[in-house]
């Protein structure tokens, strides 16, 4: 009888809005002390109910009982519309909305609607900025305890979800599920606008914003708009300077985890992306995508000045300097100017004699990483660049490009003094020294200077 009176008392509180039991950690109120006890486990991390099958632990007994259905395969709640079954009635109720399209929970701030009240509550934190779950390692805060638990795996290195096909492990189950589609090749979500297909509905929804031009997420610092909240979060690091991902090998830091993963491959030597045409391997997916254009001949990036096509945007930017003649980066040692800071950096090594890239096979050293890579191919014998005109193969893309000018007759490098044209920028530079009288190559033995490097090398044989 006493129990019934207590139940009525607690029930009346739900109508009156009374919540006498308050959490000391976050201030959330509860109508009953037992509800507060369950809630406190979120803060303490206590999970007293353990599955005997797989060892997974839970905060509440009801969660364990629901979890057990994964092992038993029991799905007692069936949809009358499509006969699909579910382990939990809430999952069935959520599923029914796919038939009805019903989204009864609406945000009062922006009008966005949701299937579940829990989804609305999580969404409201975007407007309030509330992030009650904080990482003890790095201080980053999250709107949900689930997100904090997933984030902690970055610090612990835990990757509990393993692909049965290839053995690759993942921090998140969703990442494993996305990865599995690589093996099946399944893309069940087509775009009605351009018929491009996607493996995930979320990817299709993101893609649709390309067609609509919708960019609803705005940066409060600079006003820049984004299609996705994740894009804004990454962008915000350009304002804060935050680089939370540190390399354990060299202490270099990155604003994105994907950039750290790519960087680590420099230390490990891992090149997971292999070309099916010629067997060349790459560290990044973007590199193999650009490389494939060698085989297909695709050149989607066009110069607006002369209409010349290029396989990647960086090559267009480099090419544009041949039209503008702009050379803003000047060497403080010899006064020579360059169109790019990266080229100046390499040039400065001619003064310092620094050659940081050494071949492990023959010990030869190089001032530029590109020269080192090209040299390595002499040992491997790989000639991946193919001329479609005469079937000749080349070690580097630059050698192929220069060779193709024999077929096209193209001479893109024009002397600003006398209208003479050249197939290579190096030949133009050597020629222009006739007009300028410049002799940048000095002999270290007798201080005699030369207009070309090959002249200096020939001279040095005297010594």
Residue 7 has pLDDT above 60, yes or no: no
At 11, the pLDDT band (50, 70, 90 cuts) reads low
Residue 382: its pLDDT value, please? 75
User: Above pLDDT 70, what percent of the chain?
Assistant: 96
Residue 128: its pLDDT value, please? 86
Which DSSP string do the residues of 240-279 spell out, in sequence order? H----EE-TTT--EESSHHHHHHHHHHHH----EE-TTT-
Mean pLDDT of 136-157: 87
Q: What residues contact residue 238 under an 8 Å CB cut-off, 6+ apart? A: 255
Mean pLDDT of 303-311: 84
> Domain locations in the chain?
324-460
At 10, the pLDDT band (50, 70, 90 cuts) reads low
Residue 12: its pLDDT value, please? 58
**By the 8 A CB rule, do 347 and 338 touch?**
yes
Mean pLDDT of 263-274: 86
In CATH, 324-460 is 3.40.50.10540: no
> What is d(CA 134, CA 142) in angstroms, rounded to the nearest whole number?
6
Q: What residues contact residue 128 under an 8 Å CB cut-off, 6+ apart? A: none
At 2, the pLDDT band (50, 70, 90 cuts) reads very low
85-120 pLDDT, tens digit each: 888 888 888 788 878 878 888 999 888 888 888 888
Residue 71 has pLDDT above 60, yes or no: yes
When comparing pLDDT for 437 and 351, which is higher?
Answer: 351
Report field, pTM of the whole predicted structure over 0.85: no
Mean pLDDT of 392-400: 81
- Classify the C-alpha dihedral 206-210-211-217 as positive or negative: positive
pLDDT, averaged across the chain: 83
Q: Which of 162-171, 182-191, 355-364 has the lowest mean pLDDT?
A: 182-191
**By the 8 A CB rule, do 417 and 426 touch?**
no
19-66 pLDDT, tens digit each: 778 888 888 888 888 888 888 888 888 889 898 888 888 888 988 888
Residue 1: its pLDDT value, please? 46
> What is d(CA 411, CA 424) in angstroms, rounded to the nearest whole number?
8
Strands, E assignment, 111-252:
113-114, 133-134, 141-142, 161-162, 169-170, 189-190, 197-198, 217-218, 225-226, 245-246
């Amino acid at each position: 009888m006493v129990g019934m009176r207590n139940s009525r008392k607690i029930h009346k509180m739900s109508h009156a809005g009374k919540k006498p039991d308050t959490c000391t950690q976050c201030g959330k109120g509860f109508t009953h002390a037992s509800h507060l006890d369950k809630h406190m486990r979120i803060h303490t991390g206590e999970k007293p109910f353990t599955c005997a099958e797989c060892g997974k632990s839970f905060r509440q007994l009801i969660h364990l009982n629901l979890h057990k259905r994964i092992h038993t395969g029991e799905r007692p709640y069936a949809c009358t519309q499509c006969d699909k079954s579910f382990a939990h009635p809430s999952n069935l109720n959520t599923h029914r909305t796919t038939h009805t399209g019903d989204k009864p929970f609406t945000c009062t701030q922006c009008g966005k609607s949701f299937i579940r009240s829990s989804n609305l509550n999580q969404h409201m934190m975007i407007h309030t900025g509330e992030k009650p779950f904080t990482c003890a390692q790095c201080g980053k805060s999250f709107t949900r305890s689930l997100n904090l638990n997933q984030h902690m795996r970055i610090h612990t290195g835990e990757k509990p979800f393993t692909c049965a096909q290839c053995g690759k492990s993942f921090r998140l189950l969703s990442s494993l599920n996305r990865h599995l589609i690589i093996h099946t090749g399944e893309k069940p979500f087509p775009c009605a606008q351009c018929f491009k297909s996607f493996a995930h509905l979320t990817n299709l929804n993101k893609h649709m914003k390309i067609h609509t031009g919708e960019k609803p997420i705005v940066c409060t610092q600079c006003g820049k708009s984004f299609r996705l909240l994740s894009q804004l979060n990454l962008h915000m690091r350009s304002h804060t300077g935050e680089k939370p991902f540190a390399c354990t090998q060299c202490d270099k830091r990155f604003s994105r985890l994907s950039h750290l993963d790519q960087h680590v491959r420099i230390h490990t030597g891992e090149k997971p992306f292999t070309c099916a045409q010629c067997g060349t391997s790459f560290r990044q997916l973007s590199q193999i995508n650009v490389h494939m254009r060698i085989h297909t001949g695709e050149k989607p990036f066009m110069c607006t000045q002369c209409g010349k096509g290029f396989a990647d945007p960086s090559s267009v930017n480099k090419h544009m300097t041949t039209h503008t003649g702009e050379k803003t980066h000047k060497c403080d040692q010899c006064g020579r100017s360059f169109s790019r800071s990266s080229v100046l950096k390499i040039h400065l090594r001619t003064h310092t004699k620094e050659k940081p890239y050494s071949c492990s096979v023959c010990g030869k050293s190089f001032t530029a990483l590109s020269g080192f890579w090209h040299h390595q191919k002499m040992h491997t014998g790989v000639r991946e660049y193919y001329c479609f005109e005469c079937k000749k193969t080349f070690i580097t893309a630059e050698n192929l490009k220069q060779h193709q000018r024999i077929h096209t007759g193209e001479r893109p490098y024009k002397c600003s003094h006398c209208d003479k044209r050249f197939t290579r920028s190096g030949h133009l530079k050597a020629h222009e020294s006739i007009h300028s009288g410049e002799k940048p190559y000095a002999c270290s033995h007798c201080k005699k200077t030369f207009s070309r490097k090959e002249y200096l090398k020939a001279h040095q044989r005297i010594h």
